[in-house]
Amino acid sequence: MEISQLIQSLRDELNQHNYNYYVLDKPTISDFEFDQKLKQLQELEEKHPELYDENSPTLRVGGTITKNFETVTHDYRMYSLDNSYSKEDVIDWENRIQKVLGNAAIQYTCELKYDGASISITYENGKLKRAVTRGDGFQGDDVTNNIKTIKSVPLVLKGDFPSKFDIRGEIILPLEGFEKMNQELIEIGETPYSNPRNTASGSLKLQDSSEVAKRPLECLLYFIIGNNLPIKSQFDSLNKARNWGFKVPKEAILANNLEEVFQYIDYWDTHRHTLPYETDGVVIKVNDFQQQDELGYTAKSPRWAIAYKFKAEQVSTTLNSISYQVGRTGAITPVANLEPVQLAGTIVKRASLHNSDQIEKLDIRTGDTVFVEKGGEIIPKIIGVDFSKRNVNSEPTQYITHCPECNTKLERIEGEANHYCPNFYGCPPQIIGRIQHYITRKAMDIEGLGGETVALLFNNGLIKDYSDLYELKIEQIIPLERMAQKSAENLINGIEKSKQVSFDRVLYAIGIRYVGETVAKKLVKHYKSIDAISKATLMDLILVDEIGEKIAQSVIDFFDKPDNVRIIERLKSFGVQMELIEKFNPNATNKFQGKTFVVSGVFSQFSRDDLKQSIEDNGGKVGSSISAKTTFVVAGENMGPAKLEKAQQLNIPIISEEEYIKMLDN
C-alpha cells in the first residue's frame, strides 16, 4: 500500500473509532490500540508533511496557539429563544402561531435545553471549515482550532451530506468530567471552577488548544441551516445529522399536539437529574420548515420556537446588608449582599432587589432570612422572607434619598419604578458606564479595551467621555497599572479601528435612552445621518416605523443637551461614522416607493430573504403580517392558509413570483 493510501486509511479508521466511542458510546477497540494507531499516524505525518490534512485526527490533541480570536460575521444570524415559565405561556404561544398558520395541523419537535456555550460550525464538502461562537448573534469569535480538539465534533462527515451548511449546537461539560476537573484543582490547592456552563464557555477562548484538548468537553448538535438543504423538518434534520456523524441527543421526540409536549416536559422535569449534563428546560419547535418560514422571526427570536424553563431551584440564606449601584442612565439598583449559599450549581453572594417598590412589597430587611432563586436559572433574585425567623427588633428598610456616589438628591419620574441620580455629567459611575457601553461588542467593539481599563482611564483623568478615547496616546497609557507597550498599542489600534463601525452601531453606542439595537437600525434606515436625526421634531420621529412617543422624546432630550451635541461633533471630527453608507446596487430603483409587500410561501427563483431584499432595494417595504396597509402579497408554493384568507378578506392583490418579476422588469 502506498504511503498516501496508508495515511488516509489510518485517518478514516481513527475517525470511525472516534465516532464509535464519543458519539455512539460503543467502542470497538481498546484505548491502548487506539493510541498505538494514532501514534503510527503521527509518525507517518511527520515524515511526510506534504500529505498534511487540516482535519487529521492527530490534530485533536491540540497545540495551536491563538493569541487573538478573529471576529467573524455569521452567514445566518444566531437568534436567542423566547422563554416561558408555565404551560399557560406555551398555550398562548400556540395560539399566536395558529393565527398565522390557520387550521393547518402542527407537529412539534421537543428537545432538552442543554446549558452550555453556543457554537456554529460550518462544513464544506464534508469537512469542518470553521467554528464560531454565538457572540452577539450577528458575529462571533473564530474558535476553530479549539473546537477541533473536541472528540464528538466530526472533522470529516459521512453519508449524503450537503456541499455546504452550518450546524448549531452547545459545547457542554458533562457533570462527571466537571467534578473530576474540580477534584484535581482541590488536590493541588487551587480554587475549583464555579459551574460546568461557565467552564465550557471559558474553554473555547483558551489560547492553547492543547489545554482545551485536556478537558472532557462534548458538542451536542441541534439545528442545521443553509441554502437549498434536502431537509423538510426539524426532526428529520436531527436524524440526518446523526447519520452524517454528529452527536445529537436521543432524548428529542416528535409531538403531535401540546398534550404530548406537556407529557415530555413533565417527564424530564423529574428525570433531568439522571442525565450526564446540566439541562434547564425544554425547547419546543414547530417541526415543519415550511411552517417555520411562514412564522418568521421577531427582532430577537424565531416565532416558531419557545423554551420552557424548568422551575428554578430555591434556597434560603441571610441578608447581611443592602448596597446601592448607579447605572449608566443614573438608575439606582439596590443589591442584596447575602451569606454565601450554593444555588443551581453556583455560589450566590448577591441578588438584585430591583427597586424600592420591591423592597417595600416583600418587606425585606437587613438580617432577614430570605428565599433566593435564579430567575430563569441565571440571575439570582429574592422572592420572599421567612418572617418566622425575623428579629423582633428589626427596622423597616429606609431607601436612600441621595446618590451613594456623588451625594446628589435622587429623583423618581412619575410612572417609573426606579430612582435616578440626575447628575448626568458629574456622577462617576454614570460617566464610566456610558463609556463602557460605548466600547461593548454590540456597539463599537473596541478590541483591547475592557470595562476595568475604562475605569482606570477615567480615574487617572485621561478620559471624561467616550469622545476622549480618540485623543489617547500610547505614552499616556503605558504608565497605568497592568499596562505594557503591546497592550497599549492594541488599545490604540482598537480605538482607531472603531472608526469603521457602521452608523447604526454608533447610534446604539452613544447611549440614547430607550434606543437599543433595533431602534437604532430603524432610525438610521429612515434618517441616514446623525444630523437629520438631531433636527427631527417629535412628530417626525413618532411617524417613523415602530418609534413611539417615549423613544421620540428621549431622542429629542438627548440632542437638547449641549454637552451631547459637543461630544457628537467631536466624534465626527475624529472620523467616527455618522452617516449610513449604503451598499451600491446598480439595479436599485424607487419603483416600489410607498408600497408594502408581504411575502408568503416557497419560491423557485428567489430565496425568501433575497425576495425581501429585492423589494427593499426598489424602495418598497416588507411587512410581517397582512393588514389594510398591505399593497401586495407575493405568494409562493404552500402559502399559509391564514394569510391567504386574510388577504382575500381585505381584497389585497395576491401576485405570483413571476408576476413580481414582471413588475420588477417593468
Sheet with 253-255, side-by-side order of all strands: 83-84, 305-309, 279-286, 108-114, 253-255
Q: Is the pLDDT of residue 309 over 80?
A: yes
Per the DSSP assignment, residues forming a β-bridge with 634 are 599, 655
The mean predicted confidence, pLDDT, of the chain is 88
Q: Which amino acid is at 258?
A: L
Cell 450577528 appears where?
138
* CATH 1.10.287.610-classified regions of the chain: 3-61
Catalytic one of 99, 113, 374, 643: 113
Q: What is the CATH number of domain 312-422?
A: 2.40.50.140
CATH class of 503-574: mainly alpha
Cell 465550557 appears where?
200
- Neighbouring C-beta atoms of residue 570, cutoff 10 Å: 16
CA-based nearest residue to 66, from 127, 175, 146: 146
Q: At what angle are helices 562-574 and 549-560 packed, to 10 degrees? A: 80
Distances (CA, A) of 622 to 180, 294, 604, 614, 630: 53, 14, 19, 10, 9
Span 109-123, pLDDT tens digits: 999 998 889 999 999
CATH for 428-500 (2.60.40.180, 1.20.1050.10, 3.40.50.11900, 1.10.150.20): 1.10.150.20
- Neighbouring C-beta atoms of residue 395, cutoff 10 Å: 9
| Percent of all residues in the chain with a pLDDT value above 70, rounded to a whole number | 95
SS (H, E, C) 419-455: CECCCCCCCHHHHHHHHHHHHCCCCCCCCCCCHHHHH
Burial of 601 (0-12, 13-18, 19+ CB in 10 A): buried
Task: State the fold for domain 596-665.
Answer: Rossmann fold (3.40.50)
Span 252-308, pLDDT tens digits: 999 999 999 999 999 998 888 888 888 889 999 999 998 998 898 887 899 999 999
DSSP string for 169-193: EEEE--HHHHHHHHHHHHHTTPPPP
Q: Where are the beta strands (DSSP E) in 125-263?
A: 127-133, 139-141, 164-172, 218-225, 253-255
Hey, is 39 helix, strand or coil?
helix
Q: Is the pLDDT of residue 376 over 60?
A: no
Confidence (pLDDT) at 554: 93
Q: Is the pLDDT of residue 201 over 90?
A: no
CA angle, 217 then 222 then 227, to 5°: 125
Q: Homologous superfamily of 3-61 in CATH? A: Helix hairpin bin (1.10.287.610)
Contact 232, 289 (CB under 8 A): yes
Q: Is the pLDDT of residue 345 over 70?
A: no
DSSP string for 470-522: GG--HHHHTTSTT--HHHHHHHHHHHHHGGGS-HHHHHHHTT-TT--HHHHHH
Section 53-76 average pLDDT: 76
Section 569-586 average pLDDT: 87
Q: Which is more confidently placed, 483 or 305?
A: 305
* CATH 1.10.150.20-classified regions of the chain: 428-500, 503-574
Confidence (pLDDT) at 377: 47
Among this protein's residues, is 87 annotated catalytic? no
DSSP string for 113-124: EE-SEEEEEEEE
- Neighbouring C-beta atoms of residue 354, cutoff 10 Å: 17
Q: What is the CATH number of domain 83-303?
A: 3.30.470.30
Confidence (pLDDT) at 23: 65
Confidence (pLDDT) at 63: 59
Cell representation of residue 389: 425567623
